[in-house]
Amino acid sequence: MIPRADAHGVGQVSQFRGSEDGYCDRMGARILVLNGPNLNMLGVRQPQVYGENSYTDVIDVCRRAAVARDAEVEVRQTNDEAELIGWIHDVAREKKFTAIVINPAAWTHTSVAVADALVIPEVPIIEVHISNVHAREVFRHHSYVSPIAAGVIAGFGIAGYGYAVDRAVDLS
């Protein structure tokens, strides 16, 4: 796992390549996991809703799921919507990822721009949420991302990320 700041110094990026030595020699599934605003505050922000786990724990769940499937995963988080959209555009331009797992957080319910960007790369999209958004406030019941996604995983805590990475590998 290699945490580093992105070019803008805003987001967090962690990369991990599956296999015993930490690197994958073949081009298999390469999953990009994107996280939206406030997810960097997991474990601090409303633990009664989001649990006690930290963002580092999310990265670990994604890494373990990738290793189990001999896949590669890169995990990113940003509080800047333009940065998230730029990362999605890069998937289309660079063609180095075979699927996207995304927790758009608040942008799930508000951002047509994120939804519009997600159709550009033409890779499977898995939407994931830590809490069950359908059992929460009414405004959280609508998602601009769900109609684009191959599937939605919600309400299983951070374990949902592992399920999402696993399914993304299947769809890659």
Catalytic residue numbers? Answer: 50, 129
The single-letter DSSP state of residue 19 is S
**How would you class 93 by CB atoms within 10 Å of its CB: exposed for 0-12, middle for 13-18, buried for 19 or more?**
exposed
- What value does the CA radius of gyration of the chain take, rounded to a whole number of Å? 15
Kindly provide the b/e burial profile for residues 137-167, where b requires at least 16 CB atoms within 10 angstroms of the residue's own CB: eeebeebbbeebbeebbbebbbebbbbbbbb
